[in-house]
């Protein structure tokens, strides 16, 4: 084997492994901004609709790092973040937009789809079904929040931003 082949082989293997890992991560890696006009909020919640939401999803080995920066309905900046594997196990949610003891879990469905669960003990659980459009420009979150005595449904539409 030539010296060039010996030198290039580890690089080619590493590049292939990184490419395979990024393909496994799915199309949702990137930065997403809530499209307020296309989203569907529950009746009676208009006074609590945030002014702006930008979500950043980064790849980590076997999962994702999720960060949400928002400006709430009252103009206050808020943030929450977590890092979770795609195994469905709960991890803590951190930040001033997170409730005490809030947890998140994420489950990979395919390269265009993942599901998330946010739980606030004693308050309720939010279920998200997240789908990326085939062109990779739109993220649609179908949300079902279950509280004692009632259920709230919403659809949040996010646009991919550079």
The answer to whether residue 15 sits within a structural domain is no
- Domain of residue 131 covers 27-161
Separation between Cα atoms, residue 80 and residue 99, nearest integer Å: 9
pLDDT in tens, 7-48: 444 444 443 433 444 445 678 899 999 999 999 998 888 888
Quick one: average pLDDT of 127-152? Answer: 95
Q: What is the pTM of this model?
A: 0.82
The answer to whether residue 11 sits within a structural domain is no
The answer to whether residue 6 sits within a structural domain is no
* H or E segment to which residue 22 belongs: helix 3-25
The answer to whether residue 18 sits within a structural domain is no
CATH number of the structural domain spanning residue 62: 2.40.128.20
pLDDT at residue 25, as a whole number: 64
The answer to whether residue 140 sits within a structural domain is yes
Give the count of domains, the chain: 1
């Amino acid at each position: 084997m030539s010296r060039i082949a010996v030198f290039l082989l580890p690089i080619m293997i590493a590049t292939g492994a990184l490419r395979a890992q990024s393909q496994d991560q799915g199309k949702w890696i990137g930065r997403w901004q809530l499209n307020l006009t296309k989203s569907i909020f529950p009746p009676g919640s208009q006074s609590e609709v945030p002014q702006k939401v930008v979500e950043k999803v980064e790849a980590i080995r076997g999962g994702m790092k999720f960060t949400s920066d928002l400006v709430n309905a009252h103009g206050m900046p808020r943030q929450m973040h977590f890092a979770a594997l795609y195994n469905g196990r709960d991890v803590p949610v951190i930040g001033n937009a997170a409730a005490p003891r809030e947890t998140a879990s994420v489950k990979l469905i395919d390269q265009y789809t993942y599901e998330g669960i946010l739980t606030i003990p004693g308050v309720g659980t939010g279920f998200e079904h997240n789908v990326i459009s085939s062109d990779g420009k739109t993220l649609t979150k179908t949300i079902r929040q279950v509280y004692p005595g009632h259920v709230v449904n919403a659809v949040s539409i996010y646009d991919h931003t550079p």
